[in-house]
Amino acid sequence: MTARIHLLLGSLSAALVAFALTSPRVIAADKVDPVADAKAFQNFFFQKFPNVKHEDFVNGPYSMNEDMKRQWQEKEEFPPYEFALDAGKEMFATPFKNGKTYADCFPNGGIGIRQNYPYFDEKEGKVVTLELALNRCREANGEAPYSYVKDEMASLTAYMAYTSRGELMDIKIPDDPRALAAFENGKRYFYTRRGQMNFSCASCHVQSPGERIRAEILAPALGILNAMPIYRSEWSGMGTTSRRFVTCNSQTRAVPLEPQADEYRDVEYFLSYVANGLPISGPGARP
Amino acid sequence: MKRSLLLAMLLTSSLAPSARAANEADYKAAYAAAEAASKEAAGMRNQWTVTVSALAAAKKAADGGDFDRATAAAKEAEALAKASIFQATSEKDAWKAMEIR
């Protein structure tokens, strides 16, 4: 009987030790850790494409294919986004009806700040993207908001991105559980399969960058937003980050969310944060 | 022989209802079921474009008085909506398997 009790106690102690040893790992796996996530994310791409210079990932499909890269470099002499860039510069400097300008709404007069967007607004408790901040600036000054997906918004963000070219993406996640939740929500959105095609963002941009999908070469997810906004030949025009998300959803046969929905803001936060340290290359041009 | 005849009669009678042309009531029931499933999918932020198209096709066919086609499209819409609900439910945890760690 005593032997049995000893055996039982021994087994119980062994089980407790085993639990104590394994439980911290379980907790660690569930904890939101953006720093570790960004490191793992970047390492994944650096190891998958050891011959691609790290700063080249922001050039999307051109970093994956030498022929395309040469064509793009030639096209950059007369880039297709140039008209939007010029229009954006003019719009940015043109005063609103009340005499104020966009420069009054942003730090450093809006110049060279693209790398800090999106940011987490602790007052609002939500992610604020550059597109959202621009429309809020307009509304605060008595102007009607622009469409989030193209035309004027793309021109404005093109100019602001241009003033930040070469600056390294520098997204901050404050020590605020709501900011961590936004990051985690963006990550969840990025990896979640949706639409009749049962694709997630990661299906194309993590599992298959460099591969062809029909005639196109898929861009890596790392640094994919650093080039926004972009001129797309497929669109015959400019498109914003919002337009990119909406189009991606439609292509998987999922009904897109409304531009600047919380999910889109959060996935932009996630993708931008994991690209920290990579240069801004926008505005970009894509096939 | 008698047994085969009985089986044949049973088979015919069991198939008979599906061979009947759909009427407005069939369409309305199918459409209501599809619409309910579609709303549930939309509430989960996981509506599919093909569900919306199938619902629209059902309505268009019904407006034109083609209840066979309308009922078939409504049933397709319901099946698609249910698939999207299944996807949203399973992806609540399944997305973690795709994560880069």
The ipTM of this complex is: 0.85
Q: Distance between CA atoms of B63 and A160, rounded to whole angstroms?
A: 51
**Which tens digits make up the pLDDT trace of A139-163?**
999 999 999 997 899 999 999 999 9
Is residue A13 located within the same domain as residue A23? yes
Q: Residue B3 — very low, low, confident or very high, per pLDDT cuts 50/70/90?
A: low
DSSP E strand boundaries for A171-236: 212-213, 216-217, 230-232
Number of H helices, E strands in chain A: 10, 7
Q: How many domains does chain A have?
A: 2
Is residue A23 located within the same domain as residue A165? no
Is residue A47 located within the same domain as residue A125? yes
Cα nearest neighbour of A202 on chain B:
B98
User: Which portions of chain A are predicted below pLDDT 50?
Assistant: 1, 5, 7-9, 12, 14-28
CB contact under 8 A, A192 and B91: yes
* Residue type for position A63: S
Q: What is the pLDDT of residue A31?
A: 87
Is residue A77 located within the same domain as residue A7? no
Higher local confidence (pLDDT), B39 or A18? B39
Is residue A103 located within the same domain as residue A62? yes
Is residue A27 located within the same domain as residue A158? no
Among B38, B49, B53, B82, pick the best mutation site for testing chain A contact (most A Cβ within 10 A): B49
- Please count the CA atoms within 13 angstroms of the CA of A256 that sit on its side-chain side: 15
CB contact under 8 A, A188 and B95: yes
Q: Distance between CA atoms of A85 and A91, rounded to whole angstroms?
A: 10
Is residue A26 located within the same domain as residue A103? no
Q: Distance between CA atoms of B32 and A51, rounded to whole angstroms?
A: 56
Q: Distance between CA atoms of A113 and A171, rounded to whole angstroms?
A: 11
B81-94 average pLDDT score: 98
Q: What is the pLDDT of residue A6?
A: 54
Q: Is B98 on the interface with A (CB under 8 A)?
A: yes
- Domain containing A15 equals 1-31
Among B38, B39, B44, B45, pick the best mutation site for testing chain A contact (most A Cβ within 10 A): B45
Nearest to A253 among B42, B49, B88 (CB): B49
